[in-house]
């Protein structure tokens, strides 16, 4: 490769970046020496590229300061295939809403940011040797020990730290697990259920079968008919209906997977929040035959953006997992992982959960009161006294699509049961909505419900 070619290559790349406004106007470019080191070329090669850009007016110089980007308008490219906008729909990304009734969010207004920052700083000093090395794929041992202790007395999940894998989200953990197991597994998923997980397995090429629910949760009779290799379930607070699976159904499901040498994936996504009852024991705590894979997350207790989840594997799967991930590197933020370990170890994690439990209890009670007052006999509330959301059935002539669109147009973040169904739900007089109460401020609850009432009753005017 000649020096002339390298100069053209650098020149063309910088020109394209400037035209597409990857550089701000008047932004300083790297020095000739620095760019020559970065590109592994001579200083003269970089000098030739810069001089060509200068000659064409893309950059200018300041004496003894270097090269800077000229202020340029973005080049208009008229191409229908490129510039055609997406259709307007409630599924489009919107950065924020006036009122959020989302089930995916948490209230971080009371998050102890100063305390967390202290633990981040402390983690850097205590574990700087560990953070300077290639991280273990399972996550820091210190955090895994803290999690093992936490879930043992909170959820009855008795395990060793080596069985725990900590990662940046449930989806990443499951992806790595199924790479270790093999493809072409038949996976049973609740319907309605967690749509992201359903889509994850479909995207991985797994054979996904949807299992209906009854008043006890996942239908074991349909599981027996489908004969899946893995059963994904949310027994302690079914997502999104909120149903709590009774002990009789849990034993029936455990017995079936044990007899047929299959596995349960227990997604225990928000078990920390129960109202008026004690915590519901996990399926894992009942399993004596190593047939349950346990999933937990800090997304609901702390914040979704922290991206720290964990998976507890039974030993038969753990050996396969360890073999395939032995040389892998985690994508987990180690500084946050160590900070979380210190947060749990200090007792401040549990203190924060108790504080937020009180906050969410108040919000939930206010939501229920305002909903009943606003909609009266036109609303049925499925309140299972758990988690950070509940379901309501509202009588309306509007379709699901119309409700979603109108909520979007009126600046309300709202999801319906349609999002979680494998197939389009029936168009009945009652529509099922998922009401998340975590993020919204107390003073916004009544205005949000009244605005929702206006949307629902628009068709009657």
**Residue 253 tokens, joined:** 């499901």
| Confidence label for 271 from pLDDT (cuts 50, 70 and 90) | confident
304-318 residue pLDDT tens: 889 999 999 999 999
Distance of CA 383 to the CA centre of its chain: 24
pLDDT of the residue at 364: 92
The DSSP secondary structure of 157-176, one letter per residue, reads ----GGGEEEESSHHHHHHH
Nearest to 399 by CA among 378, 417, 413: 417
**Which pTM does this prediction carry?**
0.78
Say yes or no to pLDDT of 189 above 60: yes
Burial bucket for residue 376 (CB in 10 Å: 0-12, 13-18, 19+): exposed
Say yes or no to pLDDT of 91 above 60: no
pLDDT of the residue at 85: 52
Angle of helix 348-375 versus helix 334-345 axis, rounded to 10: 90
Percent of the chain with pLDDT over 90: 63
> What's the mean pLDDT in 38-45?
88
């Amino acid at each position: 490769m000649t020096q002339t070619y390298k100069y053209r290559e650098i020149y063309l790349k910088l020109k394209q970046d400037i035209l597409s406004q990857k550089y701000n106007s008047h932004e300083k470019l790297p020095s000739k020496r620095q760019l020559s080191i970065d590109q592994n070329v001579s200083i003269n090669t970089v000098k030739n590229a810069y001089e060509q850009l200068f000659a064409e007016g893309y950059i200018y110089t300041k004496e003894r300061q270097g090269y800077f980007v000229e202020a340029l308008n973005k080049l208009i490219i008229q191409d229908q295939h490129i510039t055609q906008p997406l259709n307007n729909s409630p599924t489009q990304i919107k950065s924020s809403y006036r009122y959020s009734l989302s089930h995916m969010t948490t209230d971080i207004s009371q998050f102890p940011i100063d305390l967390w920052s202290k633990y981040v700083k402390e983690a850097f000093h205590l574990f700087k040797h560990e953070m300077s090395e290639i991280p273990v794929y399972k996550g820091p041992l210190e955090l895994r020990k803290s999690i093992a202790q936490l879930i043992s007395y909170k959820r009855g999940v008795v395990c060793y730290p080596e069985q725990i894998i900590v990662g940046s989200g449930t989806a990443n953990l499951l992806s790595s697990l199924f790479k270790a197991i093999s493809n072409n597994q038949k996976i049973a998923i609740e319907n309605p259920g967690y749509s992201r997980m359903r889509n994850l397995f479909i995207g991985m090429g797994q054979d996904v079968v949807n299992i209906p629910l009854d008043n006890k949760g996942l239908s074991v009779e349909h599981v027996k008919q489908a004969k899946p290799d893995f059963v994904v379930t949310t027994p302690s607070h079914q997502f999104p209906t909120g149903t709590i699976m009774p002990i009789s159904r849990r034993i029936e499901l455990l017995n079936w997977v044990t007899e047929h040498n299959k596995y349960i994936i227990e997604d225990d996504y928000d078990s920390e929040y129960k109202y008026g009852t004690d915590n519901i024991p996990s399926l894992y705590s009942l399993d004596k035959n190593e047939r349950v894979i346990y999933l937990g997350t800090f997304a609901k207790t702390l914040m979704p953006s922290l991206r720290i989840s964990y998976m507890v594997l039974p030993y038969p799967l753990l050996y396969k997992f360890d073999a395939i991930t032995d040389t892998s590197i985690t994508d987990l933020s180690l500084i946050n992982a160590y900070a979380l370990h210190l947060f749990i170890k200090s007792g401040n994690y549990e203190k924060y959960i108790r504080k937020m439990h009180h906050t969410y209890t108040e919000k939930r009670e206010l939501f229920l009161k305002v909903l009943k007052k606003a909609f009266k006999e036109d609303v049925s509330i499925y309140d299972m006294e758990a988690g950070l959301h509940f379901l309501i059935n509202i009588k309306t002539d509007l379709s699901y699509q119309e409700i979603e669109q109108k909520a979007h147009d009126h600046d309300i973040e709202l999801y319906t049961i349609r999002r979680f169904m494998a197939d389009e739900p029936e168009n009945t007089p009652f529509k099922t909505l998922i009401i998340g109460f975590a993020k919204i401020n107390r003073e916004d609850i009544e205005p949000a419900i009244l605005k929702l009432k206006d949307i629902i009753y628009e068709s009657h005017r």
